[in-house]
Amino acid sequence: MSFFDAVLLDWVGTLIVPKWGPAQARPRGALWIERALRQLGRDSSEAEVQRISAALVAAGKRPDVERGWSRADASAAAHRESYDRWTDAAGVDPVLADELYAALSDATDNPFATDVEPTLAALKATGLKVAIVSDIHFDIRPGFVKAGLDRYVDSYVLSFEHGVCKPDPALFRLALDRLGVRPDRALMVGDRSGYDGAAVETGIATLLVPPLTQVTEERLHLVLAACGIPIRSTAPFVT
């Protein structure tokens, strides 16, 4: 028998590798920018990609840009406003900015970590409910559907749909209410202490893992261990 009745999972950094972390101004790599340039038929040389990347990193460190991301995921409009502030500060022209934003907001272009499917399957097989609790500005459900993972998810609690972001306890409470689970019978799993870690203030046990940097990193066996579910994989914890 599991120690919990439900598991709440963060999305970016926990289940998928982010394309870009604007608040941290840390790129996943050049692919995101290169694809946008190619889509527009522009120079996609390494030098041009690195120039744009460096400009975005520098702009992301500006105080006004950093402040703008604080509640950006509370709505789609707020996120776009913060994004435009960032790309304007980086000197990115509007056409390229639009192309980059479309890629940033594509839920179907985010590969899941290799251990996501077996972990979700094990949770559901044990009878646990699963909710995805994410600070995000667009609907991520299509990504789960494309990957064949939607069948394992009971509820999606997305910040932009409710006007509230982590670490506000309201987002966690909403997930609990939707699942019909008490705080002491739920486990929150995420990768950011200041955001996902705030679930403990709602009475939810919380497991924090380092953010993903590549899809082959396997960490979710820790979730099964925390739930008291036998681990069938012996994959090492990669950092």
Q: Judge contact between 9 and 130, C-beta under 8 A.
A: yes
Which SS3 state, helix, strand or coil, does residue 207 take? strand
User: How many residues does this entry show for the chain?
Assistant: 239
Rounded distance between C-alpha atoms, residue 186 and residue 206, angstroms: 9
Rounded distance between C-alpha atoms, residue 214 and residue 239, angstroms: 10
Q: Mind giving me the DSSP string for 135-170?
A: --SS--HHHHHHTT-GGG-SEEEEHHHHT--TT-HH
Rounded distance between C-alpha atoms, residue 9 and residue 196, angstroms: 9
- One domain for residues 117 and 192: yes
Q: Assign residue 159 the CATH number of its domain.
A: 3.40.50.1000
- One domain for residues 103 and 120: no
- One domain for residues 102 and 150: no
- One domain for residues 126 and 220: yes
Q: What is the pTM of this model?
A: 0.90
Q: Give pLDDT, residue 231.
A: 77
- One domain for residues 90 and 103: yes
Q: Give pLDDT, residue 19.
A: 73
SS (H, E, C) 41-92: CCCCCHHHHHHHHHHHHHHHCCHHHHHHCCCHHHCHHHHHHHHHHHHHHCCC
Rounded distance between C-alpha atoms, residue 33 and residue 49, angstroms: 6
- One domain for residues 102 and 42: yes
Residues of the chain where predicted confidence (pLDDT) is lower than 50: 22-27, 233-239
Task: Identify the CA nearest to 36 among candidates 102, 86, 83.
Answer: 102
Task: Identify the CA nearest to 16 among candidates 169, 184, 149.
Answer: 149
Which domain does 83 fall in, by range?
Answer: 20-108
**How many distinct structural domains can be found in the chain?**
2
- The answer as to whether 234 is a domain residue is no
Number of Cβ atoms within 10 Å of the Cβ of 177:
11
- Among 108, 126, 150, the domain-final residue is 108
